[in-house]
Amino acid sequence: MLDLIHELWFLKRDILSDDFDRALFRLAQEVPMTIHEYPTGASCWTWRVPEKWTCHEAYLETLDGRRLLDYAHHPLHVVSYSLPFEGIVTRQELLAHLHVHPHLPEAIPYVFKYYDRDWGLCASQPLRDSLTDEVYRVVIRTTFEPGVLKVGEYVIQGESRQSFMLVAHLCHPGMVNDDLTGVVVGLDVARALLATEKPYYTYRVLILPETIGSVAYLSQHEDLIPEMVGGLFLEMLGNDSPHALQGSFQSDSQVDRCLVSALRGLDLYSYSAPYRSVINNDERQFNAPGVRVPMLSLSRVEPPGSPTRPYREYHSSLDTPDIVSQERLEASRQVVLSLLQTWERNQYVVNKFKGEVFCSGYGIWIDYRINPEGHRRLFEIMERCDGERTVADIATEIGISFQAVWEVVSLLQEKDLVWLSRVPSPTYPR
Amino acid sequence: MLDLIHELWFLKRDILSDDFDRALFRLAQEVPMTIHEYPTGASCWTWRVPEKWTCHEAYLETLDGRRLLDYAHHPLHVVSYSLPFEGIVTRQELLAHLHVHPHLPEAIPYVFKYYDRDWGLCASQPLRDSLTDEVYRVVIRTTFEPGVLKVGEYVIQGESRQSFMLVAHLCHPGMVNDDLTGVVVGLDVARALLATEKPYYTYRVLILPETIGSVAYLSQHEDLIPEMVGGLFLEMLGNDSPHALQGSFQSDSQVDRCLVSALRGLDLYSYSAPYRSVINNDERQFNAPGVRVPMLSLSRVEPPGSPTRPYREYHSSLDTPDIVSQERLEASRQVVLSLLQTWERNQYVVNKFKGEVFCSGYGIWIDYRINPEGHRRLFEIMERCDGERTVADIATEIGISFQAVWEVVSLLQEKDLVWLSRVPSPTYPR
Amino acid sequence: MLDLIHELWFLKRDILSDDFDRALFRLAQEVPMTIHEYPTGASCWTWRVPEKWTCHEAYLETLDGRRLLDYAHHPLHVVSYSLPFEGIVTRQELLAHLHVHPHLPEAIPYVFKYYDRDWGLCASQPLRDSLTDEVYRVVIRTTFEPGVLKVGEYVIQGESRQSFMLVAHLCHPGMVNDDLTGVVVGLDVARALLATEKPYYTYRVLILPETIGSVAYLSQHEDLIPEMVGGLFLEMLGNDSPHALQGSFQSDSQVDRCLVSALRGLDLYSYSAPYRSVINNDERQFNAPGVRVPMLSLSRVEPPGSPTRPYREYHSSLDTPDIVSQERLEASRQVVLSLLQTWERNQYVVNKFKGEVFCSGYGIWIDYRINPEGHRRLFEIMERCDGERTVADIATEIGISFQAVWEVVSLLQEKDLVWLSRVPSPTYPR
């Protein structure tokens, strides 16, 4: 995954841009993707697809021709979707258009003005501080022209048309953790899913430009929305922080219960938190009114209270391959695959038995004198196998991991004591 | 409002009495009222309308003719609905019939015995302490005779037959805050409602004698009960305490959610509290079994823990015009009008949009870098506009004021992004 | 009750055994019982009825014939359902089969191996410590043969076929508190119920061997399960601890609400706790999937945190008649009878009145100036009499005892202000 990151990260992946397309086509060589196209001006619910933006050249010079910053050196030197501008400006006017990072003096910040437009440059704090001339020459040669917004979709067809959505955004020029990491993890997950036997759910992996990409896709696939049973946004997965799982707007949904109880069993240092409390991204479009797909988000955002949240290098030129590691990307890929595995497994557990099970007779007895905790858990799980509770419901009720419940349910299934059902099958006698 | 109070307060407004009628007829000159009449003995559910009571003369004298207290000086000197009595009584017998205030030595207490009758006088503690003679002469010339209980009703017809009830009690002789203040505020609110355009709900303002007045009205208007969607009792609104809003028996009703979240936005120093925890009055009849109209109560009762709760001068001769102010009456009138305005506005917010709104395109973007709190609130509100939640539901869920939600909803309505519905109109895609 | 205990306690009441039968037949002389029979090998849901077990003779000797322990002296000296064994064993092998009590050195422990079989003896710690010879002679002459599991059922027919189950277990050789006390209390309750007028519910008292007895009965009476509305397991009722009421799996059931709120009014020192948190017994079979009868359990288990929980002499030869008292058995019998009385009484309270009741007129007024708490409670109860709440619902909502609510409801019924209904009869006006 890190190789692909090295190959793509420095591309100028603005939301509609030649480099975005280049990156997407490169990914399409990795897995077979459908590329959905939405032309500039296309109406997407309340939105419109913006123009393609290109920055041909941009720099800041002293009047005697000393070049102070150059877009050729770093794509963040120009505000994404900056208006074109050429001219001699006073120091004061320049400073009003020259952005710096709020707390990383050495970094070039990432600034974008997709809709509320202006011209603008970005620089480090020391460079800004060194500007003492009365006037400077600014050259920003950008063009806005009709283009095509592109969304890559990779589908792993399951037995059911019910779909689980995996989404990551490919935009953000010259940056890595946000969110090229989510993209490469998502692709690797897709590859792994393809290699296994046919899943029950259909999985749709979407690689898109942030926000407008999701809105465009959803508005042009309204027929699919009722089939979307849940989703997971993949976000910032390479930096050095524990996994954070952000719940969906419908915190009580089966997807929420399943993934939250499953993460507990996967990663001791991870944490879960409510909707909108970790990091906001395209899961918002899926959770929104008129869509209401319960989409969670997995990231490596620093825990609440950290002063550098979401992570220190966020939205800056310091978000480079140096801050991500192949090891962490692989760990995240494994967490995602395990979460999806539990989602596949999350069914209603229907008892074939009545009363308590004759544990000794089935060889599943746990002696309470030797292992009181295990004994207690075994019985707490068995007594909830009633066709009205899923594995995730049982885990949530008892407050243990999905995996711990699954272990017992598997054993019961093996002993032909329960069966699993995709729909509730109550066995209540009245 | 204070003028009307000065005019009416010292009347002997016992529940069925000539002075009660006088006061009610005077109010009927202010706004056009229907006067409902219920004769003595009329059966009102489990109750019966009592007799009209008149005290013609009453006093306490020493045997040598020195008058110690006289009903002519203050209507509270005689227990309301006291039996007639004339005779020489021992000091001991007198004291058993001479009531004083439990913690205001200088005040004459308000004592009433409508149903469990006896003769009785009321005096200040010093007067009682000065009684050292062996015997005294008591004269109480009261009569009980068939009368007519009267309830004044002022109706502001709305578009809908669904009614919101505003109730205050006009009884209590020689007192002001309890509850002549509620009466004058209620009338002024009625006048203001009449002056505005036709409301959606019908408003019924009831001016009545406490308890039996509400029971009589409700029992004789059972057909109206199913149309009563909520109500507000107006109580003790002139004294120097913050506004207290007491919830209804159905604390989760739309009226409760609406008024409680609205008061937050109206009066910083106000407080809300559960049913029966602030002050008990006629809202009990409306909330009771077989009626179950969610009626809240607005008062200026002192906060919990105050030793003089509900207010220092309660049920005493110190409850005079001196303890109320025109300014506070007007503030309360404004609070009531604002609460009713939010009630009118409280509809289901139905999204015309799907996904998140293109805020920049609609000019409603709040930059999270500049105003993170405002940004967050905007999105928390928008994502709940789904045809299943009212403005009050959204305010209650997020824990902010009705007004703060309304501001955003109005903006969305103006931008044609939502519409308001009196009934749920879910837009959930499945 | 203590007489019966003295008569039966030392019998070798293993789950299928001649002594169990003897004890049950003796009890059948006290009350007319149906004895249900389930032969060895009979299939009971996931279980099979085990063989009858008899220990004809068993002892431990030194090689020179000194007898160290003898089954003839105490039935606990042999593991219940021990395999037969005869032979000379090394000290080491003997110790692997010689059980002692974990924290009562002087006691013989109660050890059973119904399904996972082995041979075994039990002794006090000092005896075990005194074994210094190299070899010993062991004689255990037990037989396993086809037998008949027996369940005694005593039915008090009520007006309704809906049944309330009272269950206690008669097994456990040579022990008293666990659970001969539950058995004798249950029988005495049955006798008392028979002596009163016909109850509304049918009561079924089951006397059975632990676990397999309940499973056998339920599996062979599946048709009765839908008629079982609740139950109470009777357990350890003679020792010196306060009453503990363990809730059912369905903690919100009417039976749970009724019994929990009733115990509060019966025994100040009692405590209630959730399902599985006090002591586990046959209530588990009734609460289990496919049965789901809300069965609570009443015991005298020591409070949480006690190091000797459930009680010091549990599962040992110290569980003798010395630790139980007739007084405590009678107190428990009275508690059970009172709980059943409240269960009989627990109906929906339907208001004949509307609005608040004219309390003075009905002579039920409580003056708030004299008894504010009583006044408040009276009104809190009356305002919940709406045909949608049972007595237990009202008690649970207000947080007072069933009895305190019942007192008021009885008064209201006497005054013809409410009637009681076995099904909800809402009087909500819309």
Q: ipTM, 2 decimals?
A: 0.93
B98 φ, ψ to 5°?
-110, 105
- The amino acid sitting at B419 is W
* Nearest residue, CB atoms, A383 vs list C48, C218, C289: C289
Residue A236's pLDDT band, with cuts at 50, 70 and 90, is very high
**Cα distance from A389 to chain B (closest Cα, Å)?**
22
* Nearest residue, CB atoms, B290 vs list C353, C358, C384: C353
pLDDT for residue C246: 98
Report, as an integer, the average pLDDT of A336-340. 98
Model pTM?
Answer: 0.94
Q: Is the pLDDT of residue B430 over 80?
A: no
Nearest partner of C375 among C363, C365, C386, judged by Cα: C365
* Nearest residue, CB atoms, A429 vs list C114, C276, C290: C290
CA distance C44 to C40: 11
- % of chain B surpassing 90 pLDDT: 95
Report, as an integer, the average pLDDT of C70-85. 97
Q: Is the pLDDT of residue C116 over 90?
A: no
Residue B34: enclosing H or E segment and its boundaries? strand B34-39
Residue A370's pLDDT band, with cuts at 50, 70 and 90, is confident
C35 forms beta bridges with C152
**Cα distance from A211 to chain B (closest Cα, Å)?**
9
- The amino acid sitting at B80 is S
**Cα distance from C393 to chain B (closest Cα, Å)?**
15
* Nearest residue, CB atoms, B429 vs list A211, A215, A225: A225
| Digit-coded pLDDT (tens) for B376-419 | 999 999 999 999 999 999 999 999 999 999 999 999 999 999 99
CA distance A398 to A392: 10
The radius of gyration of chain C's CA atoms, rounded to the nearest angstrom, is 25
* Nearest residue, CB atoms, B355 vs list A116, A219, A226: A219
* Average pLDDT of every residue of chain B: 96
Report, as an integer, the average pLDDT of A239-255. 97
Closest residue in A to C211 (Cα–Cα) = A356
CA distance C238 to C211: 21
Residue whose token pair is 């879910």? B426
- CA angle at residue B261 from B256 to B262, to 5 degrees? 100
Residue C12's pLDDT band, with cuts at 50, 70 and 90, is very high
CA distance C326 to C314: 19
Residues in C touching A382 (Cβ below 8 Å): 288-289
For residue C316, the Cα-to-chain-centroid distance in whole angstroms is 19
| Digit-coded pLDDT (tens) for C123-178 | 999 999 999 999 999 999 999 999 999 999 999 999 999 999 999 999 999 999 99
| Residue C406: both structure tokens together | 């019942």
pLDDT for residue B368: 83
Residues in B touching A215 (Cβ below 8 Å): 355-356, 358
* Nearest residue, CB atoms, A355 vs list C48, C116, C215: C215
CB A43 within 8 Å of CB A220:
no
Binary contact (A114, B360; C-beta < 8 A): yes
Residue B332: enclosing H or E segment and its boundaries? helix B326-345
3-state secondary structure of B27: helix
Binary contact (A218, B353; C-beta < 8 A): no
Closest residue in A to C290 (Cα–Cα) = A354
Binary contact (B114, C351; C-beta < 8 A): no
Which string of b and e fits A300-319 if b means at least 16 CB within 10 Å?
A: bbbeeeeeeebbbbbbbbbb
pLDDT for residue B202: 98
- The amino acid sitting at A218 is L
Binary contact (C289, A386; C-beta < 8 A): yes
pLDDT for residue B1: 87
Q: Is the pLDDT of residue B320 over 90?
A: yes
Residues in C touching B211 (Cβ below 8 Å): 356
Q: Is the pLDDT of residue C208 over 90?
A: yes
Residues in C touching B253 (Cβ below 8 Å): none
Residue B48: enclosing H or E segment and its boundaries? strand B47-48
For residue A284, the Cα-to-chain-centroid distance in whole angstroms is 11
Closest residue in A to C287 (Cα–Cα) = A355
Residue C303 is given by DSSP the state P
For testing contact with chain C, the best of B110, B292, B315 (most C CBs within 10 A): B292
Residues in C touching A381 (Cβ below 8 Å): none
B105: CB partners within 8 A, 6+ apart: B124, B125, B126
- Give alpha helix (H) positions in B164-272: 180-195, 212-220, 254-266
Q: How many CB pairs under 8 A join A and C?
A: 74
Report, as an integer, the average pLDDT of A86-101. 97
* Nearest residue, CB atoms, B289 vs list C365, C385, C430: C385
Binary contact (B360, A290; C-beta < 8 A): no
**Cα distance from B45 to chain C (closest Cα, Å)?**
6
Q: Is the pLDDT of residue A430 over 80?
A: no
| Residue B407: both structure tokens together | 């501001």
CA distance C169 to B155: 70
| Residue B266: both structure tokens together | 């109206």
For testing contact with chain B, the best of A47, A99, A251 (most B CBs within 10 A): A47
Residues in B touching C361 (Cβ below 8 Å): 46-48, 115
For testing contact with chain B, the best of A46, A282, A292 (most B CBs within 10 A): A46
Binary contact (B429, A46; C-beta < 8 A): no
Report, as an integer, the average pLDDT of A216-233. 98
Residues in A touching C285 (Cβ below 8 Å): 355-356
Nearest partner of B336 among B305, B298, B300, judged by Cα: B298
- % of chain C surpassing 70 pLDDT: 100
Cβ-based neighbour number of residue B36 at 10 Å: 18
Closest residue in C to A389 (Cα–Cα) = C289
C residues 277-316 closer than 8 Å to A (CB): 284-285, 287-292
Report, as an integer, the average pLDDT of A126-149. 97
pLDDT for residue B142: 98
Cβ-based neighbour number of residue C108 at 10 Å: 26
Q: Is the pLDDT of residue B367 over 90?
A: no
* Chain A contact present for B245, CB below 8 A: no
Residue whose token pair is 């879960």? A272
| Residue A146: both structure tokens together | 């009709």
Binary contact (B358, A46; C-beta < 8 A): yes
Residue B132 is given by DSSP the state -
C181: CB partners within 8 A, 6+ apart: C5, C234, C236, C237, C238, C239, C324, C329, C332
CA distance B406 to B398: 13
For testing contact with chain C, the best of A351, A358, A365 (most C CBs within 10 A): A358
Residues in A touching C46 (Cβ below 8 Å): 353, 355, 357-358, 361-362, 417
| Residue B332: both structure tokens together | 């309360």
**Cα distance from A33 to chain B (closest Cα, Å)?**
24
| Digit-coded pLDDT (tens) for C211-249 | 999 999 999 999 999 999 999 999 999 999 999 999 999
Residue B84 is given by DSSP the state P
Binary contact (A429, C215; C-beta < 8 A): no
Residues in B touching C398 (Cβ below 8 Å): none
pLDDT for residue B115: 86
Closest residue in A to C215 (Cα–Cα) = A355
Q: Is the pLDDT of residue C430 over 80?
A: no
C50: CB partners within 8 A, 6+ apart: C15, C16, C40, C81, C114, C115, C212
Report, as an integer, the average pLDDT of A224-240. 97
Q: Is the pLDDT of residue A368 over 90?
A: no
Report, as an integer, the average pLDDT of B111-119. 91
* Chain C contact present for B340, CB below 8 A: no
Q: Is the pLDDT of residue C305 over 80?
A: yes
C residues 343-402 closer than 8 Å to A (CB): none
